Structure 1
Amino acid sequence: MKVINIGIVGTGFSAKAHMEAIRRIPYLRVAAVAASSMEKAQQIAEEYGIPKAYGDASELIQDNDIMAVHNCTPNYLHYAINREVLLAGKHILSEKPLGLSSIQTKELALLAQNSRGVSGVAFNYRHFPLIAEAKHRISKLTYGQVNLVYGGFLQDWLLHRTDYNWRLEPAYNGASRALADIGSHWCDTVQYVLGKKIVKVFADLKTVHPTRLKPPETAGMLKGQSDPEYEEIAMRTEDYGSVLVHFEDGIQGVFTISQVSAGRKNKLFFEIAAEQGSLAWNQENPHSLWIGHRDQANVELSSDPRLLCESAAQLAHYPGGHQEGWPDALKNMLIDFYSVVRDPSLKSTAAVRSFANFDDGNQIMSVIDAILESHRTEQWVKIS
């Protein structure tokens, strides 16, 4: 079995998660890492036993030994790196968003269509076993036609005015924050389960903290420094928002996104109400798919592969009761992505490919653009 040499660009949370997932798949190998400095790259390379280190992403991309690149950099760097990889004809798996604007993501989607490499976006919530099971049941009309969908994605990591991160600055993260960062995951996951795209939105967004306190670079690093001097920064992106949505075929819904909900760490959840039953799933309890009935007892389906349809069972790697979670969904995404890399004939076969490609990433950016326009104009906006 031919080993695929992979280059990781970035050294943060997502980069390390990708490295660990890659190591769980026998025919994949992290062969190089690139960082913002050679010192940082060498440090990570030594820590993870990676053969090559680069202080410049372009050097990694042009390395002839590297067959695929994982773009795990901050958002403002995504477009340029993704574009360079596509033009080099290599495989690219990018963290979302593909770029900071729909102009950038549309260009990348067009380049990807004509590239000899495989391109994917890390919308990994698609790859939980019970998400595949829900998709299967919806597609088979097990509960009849879907009427409505509701849910959201809630976090609390930006609850306090003193919470600060580069994602709060539009120059690094784009015009939207909460909706683009985590709302994009909700939209992609629910569109995937339904097999229907969002076609129209009506949004109401809010910034809870008009200004935030940015600590100095050395805050918390100097001995005895208990009261650092903060810089007051005006906020131009949303902390939370609620969005009414229309999907294809008349399905309606609503979702709420928040990064200021105390106690909620990473709650992506949805409920799909159909003619004869409902399905509900919560990422913080991913091993249970709630099935609601009117005239009989409700049911909770576990992620036991013996109880799931074939496509869902393939994503559950251990017997029932051996719980799998977020890292395993990331591993499933890589298995899916690299199965297409190994067999390019599958590239255009949507029935085989379940990972999000650059067309999907571009479509999600169009949804985010429409949400921002809807909030600004206080009107329904169609997805372009």
Structure 2
Amino acid sequence: MYNSITVAVAGAGFIGPVHVEGLRRLGIRVKGLLGKDLQESTDACKKLNLEHPYGSYEDLLADEEIDAVHLAVPNVLHYSMVKKALAAGKHVMCEKPLAMTSEEGAELVELARKSNLKTGVNYNLRFYPINLEVKDRLAKSGSRIFAVTGSYQQDWLLYDTDYNWRVLADQGGALRAVSDIGTHWLDLVHFVTGLEAEAVLADLTTVHPQRKRPIGEVSSFTKDSEKEQATETIDVTTDDCASILFKFKGGARGQLFVSQVSAGHKNQLKYDIATQDAAYEWNSERPNELAIGRRGELNQVLMKDPGLMTGTAAPYINYPGGHNEGFPDTFKQCFRAFYDAVLGDTAAGEELYATFTDGHQELVLCDAILKSNAEQAWVKL
């Protein structure tokens, strides 16, 4: 049923090709791709076996065959490119964060509402089957949630010689570690628990106030051996790590540690949800396992298995138990949910993918986190 949809992807870096792969696995036609210029577009299309390299975003939007646009470009471009896509009548799946500021995000939410087009933010981690299972279990139990603790840690910016456009405030925003990966944790926790933050206390740290930028840009997660080139020293104001406390409506408390300078942590999101009846612990580097703790019973480890997960998770499991599903699968399943909505198979308000409203919520939280760090005080939302 998805073969009636034609999509174009903007972005030829790390994440753009991941979008292409996820879409193709659903049977969605990906006609072409836009890079930073026609040469990059052409090279990427040859590598990915796509038929049409676009020379400009205007050319992409003018293509009447394109039903939807996926934006996998630097953060600073999201706001303007989303506006243009909506004006051109295209559905939009945008990488996170939705925009650079909550004011921009609010405008995009309103434009999306008026357009009657489907719009989403790619918080793909929702679509690990275990996370959908936890969401079901918490909803069905109705058990009071006491606390949510966790972290998101990486090490790809550990050294002052590590560089990417994300470290620049004018390209990625005033927040970096929190915005780039911390918002994944925030979105996932809100989605799974249904909790809503009402106040934050944040402490942000820039471990490397200066970094060595290669003469010429590098891609995300580039190997050390590929970065042997001349450099220039630049000032950095964005956060390398952060500690954040949360007060949630209803009395629950939260604690998050975010870091892109933690050696050995390649891409690890963890949460531990403590409820009256049980605790649920998940680690993205072991995504097919859920640790369930109880006081009066044996602790358990639930392995991803469609025979054991019959609720919300079931449609988003494509392989039997013992056959692991991972990072690329979350893109496919996120896009499955999004294009089900495009095709009219999902009622309004029942979307499992993150909407622009969800994306705006994370921007409002980021504003509060920045303010809290500046004032070194609790900030209410």
TM-score (norm 2): 0.95
Residue 341 of structure 2 corresponds to 340
Give the Cα–Cα distance (whole angstroms) in 1 for the partners of residues 183 and 39 of structure 2: 34
Residues 146-161 of structure 1: matches in 2 within 5 Å?
Answer: 146-161=145-160
SS at match of 1:114: helix
Amino acid at match of 1:159: L
Deviations 1:187-233 (CA, angstroms, capped at 9, x unpaired): 000000101222210001111112111122299xxxxx997543221
Residues 285-304 of structure 1: matches in 2 within 5 Å?
Answer: 285-304=286-305
Amino acid at match of 1:354: L
Give the Cα–Cα distance (whole angstroms) in 2 for the partners of residues 119 and 338 of structure 1: 10
Residue 69 of structure 1 corresponds to 69
Amino acid at match of 1:216: I
Give the Cα–Cα distance (whole angstroms) in 1 for the partners of residues 210 and 117 of structure 2: 43
Give the Cα–Cα distance (whole angstroms) in 2 for the partners of residues 59 and 45 of structure 1: 15
Deviations 1:348-369 (CA, angstroms, capped at 9, x unpaired): 232xx10001011011000011
Give the Cα–Cα distance (whole angstroms) in 1 for the partners of residues 229 and 46 of structure 2: 33
Amino acid at match of 1:380: W
Amino acid at match of 1:361: G
Deviations 1:155-196 (CA, angstroms, capped at 9, x unpaired): 001111111111111111011000000000000000001012
Deviation for aligned residue 1:381: 0.9
Identity among equivalent positions (%) equals 39
Residue 237 of structure 1 corresponds to 238
Residue 141 of structure 1 corresponds to 141
Amino acid at match of 1:272: I
Give the gaps of 5 or more residues in structure 1: 220-224
Residues 3-82 of structure 1: matches in 2 within 5 Å?
Answer: 3-26=4-27, 28-82=28-82
Amino acid at match of 1:15: G
Give the Cα–Cα distance (whole angstroms) in 2 for the partners of residues 282 and 211 of structure 1: 32
Give the gaps of 5 or more residues in structure 2: 219-225
Deviation for aligned residue 1:40: 1.2
Deviations 1:111-148 (CA, angstroms, capped at 9, x unpaired): 01111210000000001100000001111126x21100
Does structure 2 retain, via aligned residues, the 8 Å contact 1:90–1:116? no
Does structure 1 retain, via aligned residues, the 8 Å contact 2:91–2:118? yes
Residue 107 of structure 1 corresponds to 107
Amino acid at match of 1:215: P
Give the Cα–Cα distance (whole angstroms) in 2 for the partners of residues 218 and 326 of structure 1: 26
Alpha carbons of structure 1 residues 377 and 25: separation in structure 2 relative to 1, 3 Å = same
Amino acid at match of 2:272: E
Amino acid at match of 1:192: F
Residue 253 of structure 1 corresponds to 254
Give the Cα–Cα distance (whole angstroms) in 2 for the partners of residues 207 and 309 of structure 1: 44
Aligned pair 1:356/2:354, yes or no? yes
Aligned pair 1:201/2:212, yes or no? no
Residues 316-335 of structure 1: matches in 2 within 5 Å?
Answer: 316-335=317-336
> How many residues are paired up?
373
SS at match of 1:301: strand
Deviations 1:290-342 (CA, angstroms, capped at 9, x unpaired): 00011221000010010113211221111100110011111110100000001
Give the Cα–Cα distance (whole angstroms) in 2 for the partners of residues 21 and 218 of structure 1: 26
Alpha carbons of structure 1 residues 189 and 226: separation in structure 2 relative to 1, 3 Å = closer
Give the Cα–Cα distance (whole angstroms) in 2 for the partners of residues 12 and 327 of structure 1: 16
Residue 370 of structure 2 corresponds to 372
Alpha carbons of structure 1 residues 140 and 227: separation in structure 2 relative to 1, 3 Å = closer
Deviation for aligned residue 1:250: 1.5
Does structure 2 retain, via aligned residues, the 8 Å contact 1:155–1:261? yes
Deviation for aligned residue 1:51: 2.1
Give the Cα–Cα distance (whole angstroms) in 1 for the partners of residues 257 and 290 of structure 2: 20
Deviation for aligned residue 1:47: 2.3
Does structure 1 retain, via aligned residues, the 8 Å contact 2:214–2:227? no
SS at match of 1:108: helix
Amino acid at match of 2:88: A
Give the Cα–Cα distance (whole angstroms) in 2 for the partners of residues 80 and 58 of structure 1: 12
SS at match of 2:201: strand
Give the Cα–Cα distance (whole angstroms) in 2 for the partners of residues 85 and 185 of structure 1: 24
Deviation for aligned residue 1:103: 1.4
Alpha carbons of structure 1 residues 151 and 218: separation in structure 2 relative to 1, 3 Å = closer
Alpha carbons of structure 1 residues 150 and 358: separation in structure 2 relative to 1, 3 Å = same
SS at match of 1:314: helix
TM-score (norm 1): 0.94
Residue 167 of structure 2 corresponds to 168
